[in-house]
Chains A and B, each alone.
Chain A
Amino acid sequence: MSERTISGRVWVLVDANGRLIEDIDTDQIFHNAHLHITDPAEMGPHSLGNLDGWKDFPKRCAAGDIIVAGRNFGAGSSRQQAVDCFIALGLAAIVAPSYSAIYFRNAVNTGFPVLRARNLETLVAAGSLVSGDRIECGIETGAARIVGREARLDLEPMSPVQLEIFRAGSLFAYGAGPG
């Protein structure tokens, strides 16, 4: 993986009808029954543990995979574990049309790539992006493609601060910014 491109195999979080799931909240990502866990290594097995149809996700995914989800991903509480559980699984990124504000910040600040793509609903509805596809995301330019397919992924590049924190590794390593 080059510094400018994130690539991997995708898991498209769809419901029983094949539709991209919207408003996935932090209790579906990492249920409050597991909040006592503070060691990141133990968080992975609980990822998506309360999301219908995806409870066995930790067993199916592999390090380097990418999650594709519907709008307003990470709604609800401010819990950091809902990000840390995916880091524990070694996932490469999440791609969604939008995130809850707190979830997005929590991911950016730990250096985990959360990417925004505007046309995911259209791609998934058209069958142009399915689980198992490989995508390549240019995080600086927004240039992105689905390997072996015509359809384009309309990716937003990372903002400058997101890119800088990502490169530094975390907000702590990045420091208090310019000025």
Chain B
Amino acid sequence: MGRTVIEKILQAHSRDDVAAGRIVWIDLDIRSARDFGGPNVVKNYEREYGAAAPADVRRTFFTFDLCAPACTLKYADNQQACRDFARKHSIEVFDVDRGIGTHVLMEDGLAKPGSTVVGTDSHMNILGAVGCFGQGMGDVDIAFAFKTGRTWFEVPETVKVVLKGRPAAGTDAKDLTLFLCRELGTKKIALAAAEFFGEAVQSLDFPGRITLCSMITEMAGIIGFIPDGATAADPDALYADIVELDVSGLGPQVAAPPSPNTVSDLGEVSGVRIDSGFLGSCTNGRTEDLARAAAVLRGRKVRKGVMLKVVPATRRVYEEILRSGVLAELFESGAIVLNPGCGGCAEGHAGLTGKGEVEISTGNRNFPGKQGKGPVYLASPEVVAASCVRGEIGGPEGL
């Protein structure tokens, strides 16, 4: 019997016979912890293993991205506890200057096609964008992975998702992703891996693939892949289900509160007054995402009374927008550009929404209380930028 993408990757890292439904032990190429979760990883590790060395410090990392640099004492203490542990064991720390851990692992070539990577981030499966098996785990799991370099895993079934047709011009990867949140909900790929087929996904660039793979968690999936030469299933691989969706002429999509799955066409929520906008997150924080927003903002101003908060995903993205002029365009429009990290999702440096404050965001979660107390709408960078000019939800057309 042929194997799906996830079965192939896991088989290459296991001495057990890998098949959907089986529990297998796998070798982990990279194991990491963030500034949240990390301190408890250290606590668990030292309680269980004392001063013993991790399995392989060259494959072990800390990534600080939640509160960078720390703006609360709690985070400052937590980050320092991780640094102290890292120094003791000569573990590399991607510190508060670097940005979102998953993105840094991809930029630095540590998350490679066909590799296995774990960390204390529930969006670790974003690494599916580069054909890597990434998985978020709790602090017991990660402490164990630091020490042994291994973990057990229940091999998920795989659902094949085939997209037919081409979205309308002006529709981007986020619109396609929100459409999938709408159609797949939290049941159709629940606890399964997904493989996406069709021109609409095959034509996505690297940032577009990141956007799609970053929201598999919101669809209750294990991970999503866009198969290509290096990471493709066998022709006779067994799929648990095949879902076909028509995306012909798809226009901009918006997720309204209270969940990323309550998605409608932009037209249905156009005109909702907003107080703030957010551009960034692991879903839409790449240079290309920010450049598309800047193109909408060029020669225009963020409406008086609206805050537009911008957080590049990583320091490399920050450098790219700095040198290409995108940063200047964002600045001139009135946007507030902050340092790289998870701001906007985590309660960190990009500000929270107050009660009644309506925000439109390029993030991936709008659950009640996730980004503060206000209601949050999720949309593409173009729609967030246009909405901030208008002072109400709307697209770039007719600005």
Interface positions of A (Cβ within 8 A of B): 23, 25, 27, 31-32, 35-36, 38, 72, 75-80, 83, 98, 100-102, 105-106, 109-110, 159-162, 170-172, 175-179
Please give, as numbers and ranges, the residues of chain A lying within 8 Å of B141 by CB-CB distance.
105-106, 109, 171
Q: Smallest CB–CB gap between B218 and chain A, Å?
A: 10
Please state if B138 and A109 are interface contacts (CB–CB under 8 Å).
yes
Interface of A is mostly: loop
* Cβ contact within 8 Å between A102 and B15: no
- A35 and B220 alpha carbons, distance in the complex (Å): 23
Q: Chain B contacts of A98 at CB under 8 A?
A: 190-191
User: Counting CB contacts under 8 A, is B120 at the interface?
Assistant: yes
Smallest CB gap from A35: residue in B? B36
Contact B138 A105 (CB under 8 A): yes
- Cβ-defined contact, B152 with A177, below 8 A: yes
Once the chains are docked, how many angstroms separate the CA of A23 from the CA of B380?
A: 26
Complex CA gap A91/B173 in Å reads 44
B25, A179: Cβ atoms closer than 8 Å: yes
Number of A-B contacts (CB under 8 A): 83
The verdict on A177 contacting B150 (CB below 8 Å), with A38-B43, A76-B122, A102-B138 known, is yes
Which of B343-380 touch A at CB < 8 Å? Answer: 347, 367, 369-370
Partner of B136, one of A25, A35, A78: A78
Beta-carbon nearest neighbor of B22 in chain A? A159
Which among B152, B186, B369 has the greatest number of chain A C-beta atoms within 10 A? Answer: B152
Of the residues B74, B222, B367, contact of A76 by C-beta under 8 Å:
B367
| Given A101-B222, A159-B154, 14 further pairs, Cβ under 8 A | A27-B369, A31-B369, A32-B347, A32-B369, A38-B40, A75-B186, A75-B220, A78-B121, A159-B23, A171-B141, A172-B143, A176-B148, A177-B25, A179-B15
> Could you list some 23 contacts between A and B, CB below 8 A?
A32-B369, A36-B74, A38-B43, A75-B220, A78-B138, A79-B138, A80-B138, A80-B139, A98-B191, A101-B135, A101-B156, A102-B136, A102-B138, A105-B137, A105-B138, A105-B141, A109-B144, A160-B23, A171-B144, A172-B44, A177-B25, A177-B150, A179-B25
